[in-house]
């Protein structure tokens, strides 16, 4: 369970560079970015929008050993809140299947799908499984209930942030998924900064990956890993860059389980402390009311699919309070029996 290790040693970070919003025919900015990675023999993952222009032909720049293609939506046009969420299975299947077949007709067989605006729903996951995709790269808070799909969310949205993180290093093992777009490169300095990042990747011996590298069985990129990333204690530490944690890192499973265990112990300690301080002076009917309210909140959260760190914290708190309440009832029953025996 902890085979991946909690603490970093040597090459403690791995990097996935995800370049979104690219066209089949390419454009000058995309070409320059890919040339930089090719020059330094560094992998880059390029997301192509299959049907941006109907008569597009595949630019030969994509066909080099340091570029891996993934499918980035269908036309990158919103139909509602985004391109896929809320649409029927049939509509999503038609879009995703057509996009995949378009690239396959060009001799490209992608394993990864990245939805525009990083947004998708449960139906999208079912379609991806049925169409034959292995990996989805969305945001950290998307659905993750399909066991057949692997999840590699984007975590970093700035070349500058990625560069700072690589130069600084990380106490804990993890993956940085850097998401960039060609239109973000508006000046010569932007390209120079990207080149500096690539040089730092090489100098610090950071392993730069393709999405396909992470589909092997020894890499735990299941929905469980994504779920553990939402847990309250880690969310707090990452969001505020505390105690060696960083919001731009997708941490490995062993560390996530360890943090989850610590979180349980902290919650138990706090609630028992409050109990011992007699701040929870609840009678039988009051504890019953508390239990019912907690159950209703959990039920509402589940029905509305409110998947967040707050829901996880509520679950854990409910479990702990239930056991404290049960212990109180058992102690009270024992005390009554002893009183009656006298």
DSSP states along 284-321? HHHHHHHHHHHHHHHHHHHHTT--SHHHHHHHHHHHHH
pLDDT of the residue at 291: 62
- Provide, rounded to the nearest whole percent, the portion of the chain with pLDDT above 70: 81
Mean pLDDT, residues 195-200? 96
Position 241 confidence tier, pLDDT thresholds 50, 70, 90 = confident
Q: What is the mean pLDDT of the chain?
A: 85
What predicted TM-score, i.e. pTM, was given to this entire model? 0.80
DSSP codes of every residue in 176-209: EEEEE-GGG--SHHHHHHHHHHHHHHHHTT-EEE
- Distance, CA of 50 to CA of 99 (rounded, Å): 5
Determine which of 28-42, 192-206, 279-293 has the lowest per-residue pLDDT on average: 279-293
- Distance, CA of 248 to CA of 163 (rounded, Å): 11
How is the chain split into domains, by residue range? 13-253, 280-341
Four-residue CA torsion sign, 28, 31, 36, 37: positive
CATH homologous superfamily, domain 13-253: Glycoside hydrolase/deacetylase (3.20.20.370)
Please determine, for residue 216, whether its predicted confidence score (pLDDT) is greater than 80: no
132: number of Cβ within 10 Å: 12
Please determine, for residue 309, whether its predicted confidence score (pLDDT) is greater than 80: no
- Distance, CA of 41 to CA of 179 (rounded, Å): 19
pLDDT of the residue at 80: 85
Mean pLDDT, residues 105-113? 94
Mean pLDDT, residues 322-328? 71
Please state whether beta strands 67-71 and 44-48 pair in parallel, antiparallel, or not at all (unpaired): parallel
């Amino acid at each position: 369970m902890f085979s991946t290790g909690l603490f970093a040693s040597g090459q403690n970070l791995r990097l996935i560079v995800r370049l979104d919003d690219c066209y089949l025919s390419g454009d000058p900015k995309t070409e320059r970015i890919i040339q930089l990675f090719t020059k330094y023999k560094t992998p880059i993952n390029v997301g192509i929008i299959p049907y941006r222009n109907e008569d597009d032909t595949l630019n030969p720049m994509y066909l080099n050993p340091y570029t891996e293609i993934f499918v980035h939506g269908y036309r990158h046009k919103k139909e509602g809140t985004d391109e896929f969420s809320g649409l029927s299975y049939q509509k999503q299947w038609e879009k995703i299947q057509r996009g995949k077949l378009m690239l396959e007709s060009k001799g490209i067989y992608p394993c990864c799908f990245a939805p525009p605006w990083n947004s998708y729903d449960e139906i999208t996951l079912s379609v991806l499984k049925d169409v034959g995709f292995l990996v989805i790269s969305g945001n950290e808070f998307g659905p993750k209930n399909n066991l057949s799909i692997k999840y590699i969310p984007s975590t970093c949205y700035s070349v500058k942030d990625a560069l700072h993180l690589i130069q600084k290093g990380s106490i804990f093992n993890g993956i940085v998924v850097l998401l960039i777009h060609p239109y973000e490169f508006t000046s010569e300095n932007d390209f120079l900064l990207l080149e500096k990042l690539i040089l730092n990747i090489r100098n610090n011996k950071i392993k730069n990956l393709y999405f396909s590298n992470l589909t092997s069985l020894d890499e735990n990129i299941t929905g469980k890993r994504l779920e553990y990333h939402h847990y309250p204690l880690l969310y707090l530490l990452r969001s505020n860059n505390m105690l060696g944690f960083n919001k731009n890192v997708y941490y490995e499973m062993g560390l996530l389980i360890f943090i989850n265990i610590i979180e349980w112990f902290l919650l138990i300690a706090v609630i028992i402390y409050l109990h011992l301080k007699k701040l929870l002076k609840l009678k039988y009917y009051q504890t019953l009311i508390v239990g019912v309210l907690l159950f209703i909140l959990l039920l509402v959260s589940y029905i509305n699919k409110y998947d967040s760190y707050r829901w996880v914290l509520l679950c854990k708190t409910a479990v702990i309070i239930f056991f404290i309440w049960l212990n109180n009832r058992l102690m009270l029953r024992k005390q009554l029996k002893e009183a009656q025996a006298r």
